[in-house]
Copies of this chain bind each other. A is one copy, B any other.
Amino acid sequence: MVTESNAVKPNRPSALDETLKIFSEKWTFAVLQELFFGVRRFDDFQRNLDISRSVLTTRLNHLVTYEVIRKVAYQDRPKRYEYKLTESGRAMYGSFVLLKQWGERWLNTGSAGELVLIHDSCSKKLEAELVCLHCGKPVSAHNTYPETIHGTP
């Protein structure tokens, strides 16, 4: 059971964790962040997140159940496993980036030891914005409106 009292206290500071202290169940997204940082193995998740083995097991199984990650054997004797993002898991990258970026912008994070993202194409610290796939123009709360999907047969 995840409650607000057992908040994430990772070993390395993280803007995303700051964001999720406000918005969100923390461990699941914290595990997802580690996956985006390249972590694959149980002991590495545990060390980076300073999380109990039982909570980590629950969170990993939760993500496996929803097919956001899959468990893959990388050694036979003894059998050992690692966790890899599926296609839908990788598709969470944009949400992860924007939640992290929000924390960086609004919660005065950015301390030594924190990981930032570098964009290959320009080698700069990533600053991302959302644009429309149809017209290429920026997306904000000011230039969109909600509409109801009408009933289907």
> Separation in Å of the A114 CB from the closest CB of chain B?
5
A106 to B118, CA, bound (A): 27
Distance in angstroms between the alpha carbons of A121 and B142 in the assembled complex: 11
> Interface residues, chain A, CB within 8 Å of chain B?
1-5, 20, 22-25, 28-29, 32, 36-38, 62-63, 66, 68, 85, 88, 90-95, 97-99, 102, 105-106, 110-122, 124, 126-135, 137, 139-152
**Residue from B1, B25, B135 within 8 A of A23 (CB atoms):** B25
CA gap between A99 and B88 in the complex, in Å: 12
Q: Is the CB of B97 within 8 A of A122?
A: no
Copies in the complex: 2
List of B residues within 8 angstroms of A133 by Cβ: 127-129
From B25, B105, B129, B148, give the contact of A130 (CB < 8 A). Answer: B129
Q: For residue A115, which residue of chain B has the nearest CB?
A: B146
Say yes or no: A131 contacts B129, CB within 8 Å.
Answer: yes
Complex-state Cα separation, A111 to B122, whole angstroms: 40
| Contact A22 to B66, CB < 8 A, known contacts A88-B106, A111-B149 | yes
Name which residue of chain B comes closest to A26, CB basis.
B25
